[in-house]
Amino acid sequence: MLRFLNPSWGSSSRYGGAKKSSDDQSKLGYANATSAPILPPELIDPIIDEVARSQDIQSLRACCLAHSTFVFRSQSHLFKTVDLDKWSPREKYHRRFHNLLLTSPHLGAHVRDFRLGDDSEDDYGRDASPWITTSTTLAHTLTLLCRLESISISFNSELTDWHAIPSPTRCAITRIFSLQTLRAVSLDFISSFPPQLLVTLTRLPCLALSNVDVDESAPFYVDRPISTFSENPGLQSLVVKGTSPRTVQVIAYSLGATHSSTLRKLSVGPTFEAGFCEAVCDLLKSKAGGSISSFEWMPPAHLVIPSAPLDITPLTRLRCLKLLINFHNSHKGPFAQAICFLSQLASEYNQVQRISFECHFLQLPCRFNTGGILRRESSTSSTKPASGFDVDTWHYLDRVLSHPAFKELKTVKFELAPSSSVDIDHFRAEMAFKDLGLFTALREKGINVVVQVQSATKLGL
């Protein structure tokens, strides 16, 4: 492709007819190197866009070097996503990106998705000094990102106090939150967050909060109905994981000021903190709960005895339900909360069409983890062929899901997290469910039962 984009590539006297002198060849080479591409301008951008869709980074970089005409379009793809929360030490990569912006400030306008992370202890428990609270250049970096559509900021896992962040950096973050182009914000590990600023974030389509505590003493208000802001469609997707009850209350209050709710998806990661589930219940009972069509219950894996389940019966428009199942939870069985949620829905006819279970620490019978022909357990074998795998419990789940109240149910999906899929592939996992005779009642009703093995990069909340 690049050969067609740059006319100087592949040019030679043997393609030019009569033999030319060395001087003429030099002039021709110079002319070819500086001439415009032979392709029409309207074709160049689509070709570069196609290269970007194939995620061919090396070719995009080559396009930048091939001709000046290709630079702008290629850079717009190369710098569309800047992830400074991927490699350690993160401060070093921020410094490199900052220096690049100093020499080429226009690159900041290409960035649409920006991810920023603080340095914390590594996998070996070695501490790393947090740099966001001490950086003198971060504010300038953020100022140059003028067309962001999404931003993710992950502070130190020990929780960073909002007031510990330098004032210029706080102002720069606040400015980004008010960008007309912004559509999604994700915040992790921050305390004393201004509730008034959180109210502003509820006007965005997507908001994800993990371990975010608002300032309990700071006042807040909603100056006018959110629906009057025509530039933003309103909050559609909300994730609250490990947040304080006050944080959920501020969100509920803000959403309650709208003329009509736009919230479609809610994902909840419960905590031990008293009042959290009550705050979420109040949110579900409010105007916002009436518009939710997708609900996820994602307790953290280390929460062995999770908080009491919520009452999800107010979700009258629920279409999709996702539940995290932790097979290390042996207090009341791994499906205890799932059965509770499903029983609530089975109390009357519902409109749920898809139910997903994200399974962690599930141990399939060992014969499915090795080679060989699949076989059923003999009649004398135990009903517990593997630790945490109680076939009777799975049969009970089958009966609950087959309840007539789930008349609209079309798909039941089991996603095996990496902790559950050691030495097992997608085909073998699916065969395990069939070989053990699981969910025969669902299959007889024509409901699609899907088993999927997650990759290590695709984790739940």
Query: Which of 353, 334, 343, 255 lies closest to 295, judged by CA?
Result: 353
pTM for the whole thing? 0.81
Q: Residue 165 has what DSSP assignment?
A: S
DSSP assigned state of 218: -
- Pick the more confident residue, 268 or 337: 268
Which uninterrupted H or E stretch holds 395? helix 391-401
| 351 vs 124: which has the higher pLDDT | 351
Q: Are 209 and 241 in contact (CB under 8 A)?
A: yes
Backbone angles phi, psi at 244, to 5 degrees: -75, 155
The whole-angstrom separation of Cα 197 and Cα 195 is 5
User: Does the bond joining 225 to the residue before it have cis omega, within 30 degrees of 0?
Assistant: no
Instruction: Indicate the pairing of strand 150-154 with strand 113-117.
Output: parallel
Instruction: Please tell me whether residue 460 adopts helix, strand or coil conformation.
Output: coil
Collect all residues with Cβ–Cβ distance below 8 Å to 396 and sequence separation of at least 6. 335, 339
- Average pLDDT on 150-156 reads 94
Share of the chain above pLDDT 70, in %: 75
Please report the pLDDT score of residue 62 as a whole number: 84
**Above 60 in pLDDT, residue 246?**
yes
**CA distance linking residue 44 with residue 192, whole number of Å:** 49
57-95 pLDDT tens trace: 888 888 887 777 888 888 888 899 999 988 878 889 999
- Residue 409 pLDDT > 90, yes or no? yes
Q: H/E element holding 211?
A: strand 206-214
| Confidence at residue 36, expressed as pLDDT on a 0 to 100 scale | 52
Band of residue 195 on the pLDDT scale cut at 50, 70, 90: very high
DSSP string, 303-372: -SSPPPPP--TT-TT--EEEEEEETT--SS-TTHHHHHHHHHHTTS-----EEEEEEES----GGGSSSS
CA distance 439 to 101: 56
First-to-last C-alpha distance (Å) of the chain:
41
* Structure tokens that stand for 251 in this block: 């969100």
136 Cβ contact partners less than 8 Å away, ≥ 6 residues apart = 166
| Predicted local confidence at residue 367, as pLDDT | 58
Helix, strand, or coil (residue 170): helix
Mean pLDDT of all residues in 108-123 = 84
Q: Give 332-389 pLDDT, tens digit per residue.
A: 778 888 999 999 999 999 999 999 999 888 877 655 554 433 333 333 444 444 444 6
Q: Write down the residue that tokens 């903190």 correspond to.
A: 273
Mean pLDDT of 212-232: 68
